[in-house]
Amino acid sequence: MSIRLDRLAPVWRDRVGAAVEFLTERGFTGKVGLVLGSGLGNFVDAVEDAEAIEYGDIPGYTTTTVAEHTGRLVTGTAAGVPVVVMQGRLHPYEGLPNEELLLPTAVLACLGIDTAVVTNAAGGLNRYYRPGDLMVIRDQVDMHFHDPLRGLMTRPFAPAEDADASLHAELAAIGRSGGMPDLFDPRLADQLVAAAAKCGVPMHAGTYASMSGPAYEAKAEIGMLRRIGCDAVGMSTAPETVLLKRLGVSPVGLSCITNPARETGQPQLSHQDVVEVGKLVRERMARLLLEFLPRVGS
C-alpha cells in the first residue's frame, strides 16, 4: 500500500510505515477495516481465526489515556470477509496532536483495506431517536474547526489516486480538488440500511456532529446542532473519516445512540439504563455488521 504511504508528509510517513511493516509481517491485512467505538468492542468476538495485538506493542502507537477504552488491533475473518478491527480508538479530547491521534487510522488504511466501517457511541439530537437505535451516517459536521490533515499530507489538494473515477469527476465539477462530496459512500450506506432491514434492527439515517469534548454539550450547543440539521452528536469519527477518504478508503459511518442529547426534554438515563442500552446496542450492532460485511463490494 505504498501509494497511500506516499500521500503522507515525510515527517509522518516513516512512523506510519514502521507500524505497517511490523503489522504486515504478522499477517494484519484485510478487505474491510472496522473502528469500534466506546463500549462497542464486543464485535471482535465474532472474528474467526483472530490474531490480536495490544496497541502498546505496536511501534509508534500512543496508548489511550481513557481508562475504559481497551486498545487492540485484531485481524481475521468475519462473516467470511477478511477484516482488520481497531478495538478502541484515541479521541480528540485526549489532547493529542493529530499525528498521534490519527496514526492508527493511517496505519489501518495502509494495511490494504478498501472500506472502513467507523462506529461510535452518540447522543441522539433527532427527536425520533431512542436509546438503542442505530444511525447510518449520511454526512458529518466537523465541529473541531481545523482540518485534521493540516501538515500530514504531501499534496493536500490532490484527490486520492485510487479513489474511483466518479469521485474525480465530482471534484472536477465543483472545481476544487480536495473537496469532500459524498464523504460517506451512499451505496455502502444504502447497503447498511438494507442489512438492518434484513436482520430486524431499527435504523435511522442522518448527520453526525463531531465535537471536541471532553465536556458534554451545553443545552445551547445542542439547540444549535439541531438547528443546523445534525441528528446525532459524539466526540470522534470526523477526523478519521476525512483521512480515510483522502487515502482512497470508502468510509461507512454507524452511530449507536446511547442517550438522548439533553435539550430534547427526555429524562436523564440512570446508570442501570445506560448498562441496559449498552448491551442492547452492542448486540444489535454485531448482528448488523455480520449481515453487512458480505455486502461490501457486492
Site membership for ligand HPA, residue 76 (CB under 6 A)? no
Q: How many CB atoms lie within 10 A of CB 86?
A: 26
Classify residue 290 by burial, with Cβ atoms within 10 Å: 0-12, 13-18, 19+. middle
Site membership for ligand HPA, residue 123 (CB under 6 A)? yes
Q: Contacting ligand HPA (CB under 6 A), which of 131, 206, 234, 251?
A: 234
SS3 label, residue 271: helix
| Complete DSSP assignment for 199-247 | TT--EEEEEEEE---SSPPPHHHHHHHHHTT--EEESSSHHHHHHHHHT
Site membership for ligand HPA, residue 235 (CB under 6 A)? yes
Site membership for ligand HPA, residue 140 (CB under 6 A)? no
What are the grid coordinates assigned to 211, written together?
465535537
Q: C-beta of 213: minimal distance to ligand HPA in Å?
A: 7
Site membership for ligand HPA, residue 104 (CB under 6 A)? no
What is the longest distance spanned by two Cα atoms in the chain? 52
Residue 214, preceding bond cis, omega within 30 degrees? yes
Pick from 284, 229, 288, 280: nearest CA to 259: 280
Q: Contacting ligand HPA (CB under 6 A), which of 46, 149, 233, 249?
A: 233
Q: Contacting ligand HPA (CB under 6 A), which of 188, 203, 261, 296?
A: 261
Site string for ligand HPA, 203-222 (x = CB under 6 A): --------x----xx-----
Q: C-beta of 131: minimal distance to ligand HPA in Å?
A: 10
Site membership for ligand HPA, residue 242 (CB under 6 A)? no
Give the footprint of ligand HPA on this chain (CB under 6 A).
Answer: 121-123, 211, 216-217, 233-235, 258-259, 261
